[in-house]
Amino acid sequence: MTTAEPTTAEPTTAEPTSTGPTTAGPTTAGPTSTEPTSTEPTTAEPTTRPRPYQHYVYAYPHKTAYRTLPDRPPLRTLWAAEPKDALSLYLHIPFCEVRCGFCNLFTRIGAPDGLTGAYLDALERQADAVRAALGDSDEVRFATAAFGGGTPTFLTAAELDRLCDIAEHRMGADLRAVPLSVEASPATATADRLAVLAGRGTTRLSLGVQSFIDSEARAAVRPQRRADVEAALGRVRDARVPVLNIDLIYGIDGQTEDTWRHSLDAALDWRPEELYLYPLYVRPLTGLDRRRTGPDPDWDEQRLRLYRAGRDHLLAHGYTQQSMRMFRRADAPSQGADDYACQTDGMIGLGCGARSYTARLHYSFDYAVDMHEIRAIIDDYVTTADFSHAEVGHAMDAHEARRRHLLQSLLQADGLRTDDYRTRFGAAPADDFGPELECLAEHGWLADDPAVLRLTPEGLAHSDAIGPGLFSPAVRAAMAAYERK
């Protein structure tokens, strides 16, 4: 899995880093259960414990709440009053060698001759337009950068070099001076590609492994052999990228605590600086979706059991928990803000699957999961000449900004300092979200600490219910009205 759209689950996510399993696989078998889709409204009632696995909140609002912007606001206007001295930069590559059965990321399988070159041409045109819209070069600085997808390492070594040139020479990001995270799959983590990335300043390489057991990889519709995964991990270590992240998935059909521990131990043999543990989801329009039968409480319990076993195993091996999904080795080098991929305002996303964030508008291009629809969107992107306007997005009012801040902080293990929230917004979190916080406390998911809003260990375990339950009614309504494609 790659993350960037974020992660992350979304993902990604999913834009930039770890948002959920990324790259690759045909489409056949898998669990016979499914999850509510991300377009269904969800809420947590104090008297009813919600299902633990609803969906991964790697960004708020979700892209299914975005709509076409009839006024197509100029980027220059959107960014005129925004702080631009600590921007995040995300470049999205929407290509994979194959598509995993669980993957609902914005990506296509393979690329006809010339498409990746045409895509990079469009990326250059977009970068030029965005950089011009940002204005005075002395005011513009990038604090973090990430390449996500899809699979950025689907590009050849020469194309990756060109991608770095776009970030540096077109956008003005100094990739050797800021944290740079890149997502990869075992098949595409070749020595020549890794040499380019390491030479251009990559500080973190995220490898979507999912399972070290071949039969489990097949059950998740991800054709790979452990020997190939181990070889790819060796190449990453040889490239001396400072931080290696390994993505693993729990809840695969036939997976047991013993096989889960086997994958965890196989990953730990490489002493990765980071590990992401993702619950398997079966989402609409994905390969595993062909066997949907509805909610399955037994599968929920299996995933909770495996999550707790994985969490405890990593904590016992010297890792610290950063969120429900993310675990970091205690001595790992810092990578800056963990939420660089898709949580902070001041986010510049380039590519047809990337989001950009200002304080008042989140914007992107059209969104789809279906392969035919994705190909059409990519084809439109590569022929676009004018990138100077925002096309699709979601306006953020003051209350949504507060809700987003609460969400992105509360779902991190460190939580939210109430004094920091009051300084930023002039009110206490309980003043703005009293009923929601009382609900979490009733479930035993909120720690009893007046200085910090922090989830308990069981609260973190239920992050994929807590996040959706905190969505605003307006966002949930927009997601429910989204026409899936």
- Residue 171 forms part of a structural domain: yes
Inter-residue contact 93 to 166 (CB < 8 Å): no
- Residue 449 forms part of a structural domain: no
Query: Which range marks the domain in which residue 118 is found?
Result: 65-329
Highest averaged pLDDT of the listed ranges 6-10, 35-39, 232-236, 373-377? 232-236
Q: Any idea what DSSP says for residue 51?
A: P
User: What totals of helices (H) and strands (E) does the chain contain, helices first?
Assistant: 15, 17
H/E stretch holding 363 reads strand 361-364
- What does each C-alpha distance from 72 to 83, 362, 386, 391 come to in angstroms? 22, 13, 12, 5
- Residue 206 forms part of a structural domain: yes
25 has a pLDDT exceeding 80? no
**Model-level pTM?**
0.87
Q: What is the structure's pLDDT at 178?
A: 95
Q: Read out DSSP for 84-99?
A: -SSEEEEEEE-EESS-
H/E stretch holding 392 reads strand 392-395
Residue 49's pLDDT band (cuts 50, 70, 90) = confident
What is the average pLDDT across 339-348? 62
- What does each C-alpha distance from 55 to 34, 350, 478 come to in angstroms? 11, 25, 16
Average pLDDT, the chain: 86
- Residue 30 forms part of a structural domain: no
For residue 296, how far is the Cα from the chain centroid? Answer: 25
- Residue 451 forms part of a structural domain: no
Which residues, 6 or more positions from 106, have their beta carbon under 8 angstroms from its beta carbon? 5, 14, 92, 94, 150, 352, 353, 367, 368, 369, 374, 377
Inter-residue contact 73 to 390 (CB < 8 Å): yes
The tens digit of pLDDT for each residue in 138-160 reads 899 999 999 998 899 999 999 99
- Of the candidates 269, 183, 186, the residue with the CA atom closest to the CA atom of residue 229: 186
435 has a pLDDT exceeding 60? yes
Domain count, the chain: 1
Which comes out higher in pLDDT, residue 59 or 167?
A: 167
- Residue 281 forms part of a structural domain: yes
Segment among 105-119, 131-145, 328-342, 396-410 with least mean pLDDT:
328-342
Q: What is the structure's pLDDT at 336?
A: 66
35 has a pLDDT exceeding 70? no
Q: What is the structure's pLDDT at 38?
A: 37
What proportions of the chain, in percent to the nearest 5, are helix, strand and coil?
40, 15, 45
Identify the CATH number of the domain in which residue 251 sits.
Answer: 3.20.20.70
- Residue 114 forms part of a structural domain: yes
Which residues, 6 or more positions from 356, have their beta carbon under 8 angstroms from its beta carbon? 347, 348, 349, 362, 363, 364, 390
Q: What is the structure's pLDDT at 8?
A: 34
